[in-house]
Amino acid sequence: MMTDWIKGRISGIAGDSDLLILLSVVLALLVAGTVFGQCLKLRRSAGPELKKLAENFNARVKSWWMMCFVFAIAMATGGIGSIVLFMLTSFLALREFIAIVPTRRADHRIIVWCFWVILPLQYLMILTNWYGMFVLLIPVYAFLFVPTRSVIAGDCEGFLERTAKIQWGLMACVYCISHAPMLLQIPLKFQDAGLVNARLLFFLVTVVEMSDVLQYCWGKTCGRHKILPTVSPNKTVEGFIGGILSATLLGTLLSLVTPFTWYEAALISLTVALAGFAGDVTMSAIKRDCHVKDYGTALAGHGGILDRIDSLCFAAPIFFHLVRYLFSA
């Protein structure tokens, strides 16, 4: 029975030519990145700086292979697989966030509530497609519950700061990220809406993450002027402009396999790329405030899970509500 289910999922993907095109584009980019990284590594005239760049680049590419493989499996298993993947991502991201912000013994029980009650409930709302509770659970009910449960512990030292940090972690790592798999539940005004929903999730992740990669590449090749030196020293004006415009162009090309017209895809891609940049630098500011370089070490060359999805924290809810407002049935 399980074998028949797996065969059904694979045949469903194989029958979606547009999704196969998207997968092929990502595969081609990964292969090109791997070849480029190996060429950098094999250059005999490379100096210490170039060798360091090659090592960092190859580590990032290896991590991208792993992440894309996991994401492809989630897409193959349909909505449940994607929900489980993003729920696990939120769990790991929240763990990294809580690990770097100061907490006290009195906060431990509310942190347990965040991980084992509020987070699963948020993703249960996606699974059951309860949109009303999905958009209210964390920004309203969890927002009120966290300080109420914390105050019961009776520790008032740094109460506002501690509570706000836990609330921020829930909002960024759980609420914002959960908008990505919720894309699969939007009732769209298109034929084969289920397939379109999957393509939109793929579109979001591809544009946002490639914007981050392209900003890195443009910044390393022709970056000269720092854009936010006290927040993210490696980001440059050239990298920002080149990465955002390149991601917008990529999103425009992907309009061929989405319900968007080319100009809708361009505007939406530009919007989510800018939102992704805002998320990236905001989460970087939090790291600087906590005096850490990365949120974790889970991904070689990338830091932690939250280092990789920081752009998605801001881009996912904006993209979700744009799609729901403009294209829902």
| DSSP conformation letters of 228-272 | STTT-TT-BHHHHHHHHHHHHHHHHHGGGGSSS-HHHHHHHHHHH
For residue 226, report the phi and psi dihedrals to the nearest 5 degrees: -65, 140
CB neighbours of 185 closer than 8 A, spacing ≥ 6? 79, 126, 129, 131, 197
Q: How many CA atoms, within 13 angstroms, populate the side-chain half-sphere of residue 44? A: 0
Rounded distance between C-alpha atoms, residue 65 and residue 69, angstroms = 6
CA angle 265, 266, 270 (to 5 degrees): 115
pTM, full prediction: 0.88
Q: Do residues 82 and 68 touch, judged by C-beta distance below 8 A? A: no
d(CA 76, CA 91): 22
pLDDT tens, position by position, 29-76: 778 878 877 776 776 555 676 677 677 777 777 777 777 777 777 766
Question: What pairs with residue 188 in β-bridges?
Answer: 328
Where does residue 237 rank: exposed (0-12), middle (13-18), buried (19+ CB within 10 A)?
A: middle
Altogether, the residues listed in the chain come to a count of 329
More reliable by pLDDT, 184 or 303: 184
Query: For the segment 100-109, what is each residue's pLDDT rounded down to a tens digit?
Result: 988 888 899 9
For 170-211, the pLDDT digits (tens) are: 999 999 999 999 999 998 877 666 678 888 988 998 899 889
Cβ-in-10-Å burial (0-12, 13-18, 19+) of 65 comes to: middle
Give residue 148's Cα distance to chain centre.
30
Count CB-CB contacts under 10 A for residue 116. 11
- pLDDT band, residue 14 (cuts 50/70/90): very low
Is residue 147 within 8 A of residue 127, CB to CB? The reply is: no
List of residues 6+ apart from 27 with CB closer than 8 A = none
pLDDT above 70: percentage of residues in the chain: 86
Least confident of 95-109, 135-149, 212-226, 288-302: 288-302
